[in-house]
Amino acid sequence: MAGVLAGRVALVTGASAGIGVAVAIALAEAGASVAVAARRADRLTALVKKIEAAGGKALAVPGDVTDEKAARGMVADTVKHFGRLDILVNNAGVIQLATVENANIAEWKQVIDLNLMAALYTCTAAIPHMKAHGGGDIVNVSSMASRRTSAMYNSYSTSKHALNAMTDGMRQELGLAGIRVSIVEPGATDTEVAEQMTDPQHQEWMRKHTSKDGAMKPEDVAAAILLVVSLPARTNISELSIRPTIDVGPSR
């Protein structure tokens, strides 16, 4: 495909559903070659076929991004196949019911590992390749929950606050190397995020929240990310918060 991202190579994590799928398709339509990462290999295979059928180039790199070796392998496989890496979109994430007084430590670790540590693994692996080609883009998908703390979803808010801090630190660290680093914070978006929750009551609440009238679609978030990586190299949108126009109820 020809387009504004022609000649560039992207890696998108959490690409088996929702925002990740939409981002991969949007980047491919803009001309990028796209590697897609997630645990569900069958979904990645279907996504690759869809992108290729539309004339794009894609590669499935299945695995668990919370495993540091696997996460680094996703970056290595992308570079091996396409020869470079210009865009990294860390989209993989999870939310669970999580207070502190009655903390489920295993679930706290799951949320922190996926929402924060996985991004650290892929970023540290990707940076040398971006430097070798004079720059690149790292986009970390956060949440409006990073702007407020939730008693019921404390681990999620904590992980996204931390992701924001890490992202801004990287922006300051890597700007001179030509690497733009951005955080994108979506509000309520119609995705499968509720399906990973283990508490039935809160799972149902999250389903209603993300599918409520006016909720954004994954394609809306993908369009915002495409904007971020399409701007002239001298311009860095460091933080981008996007909410539904009809703001009903608490933002995600």
Catalytic residues: 156
Tell me which residue has tokens 């931390």: 162
Query: Torsions phi, psi of 154, nearest 5?
Result: -60, -40
Adjacent-strand bridge partners of 153: 98
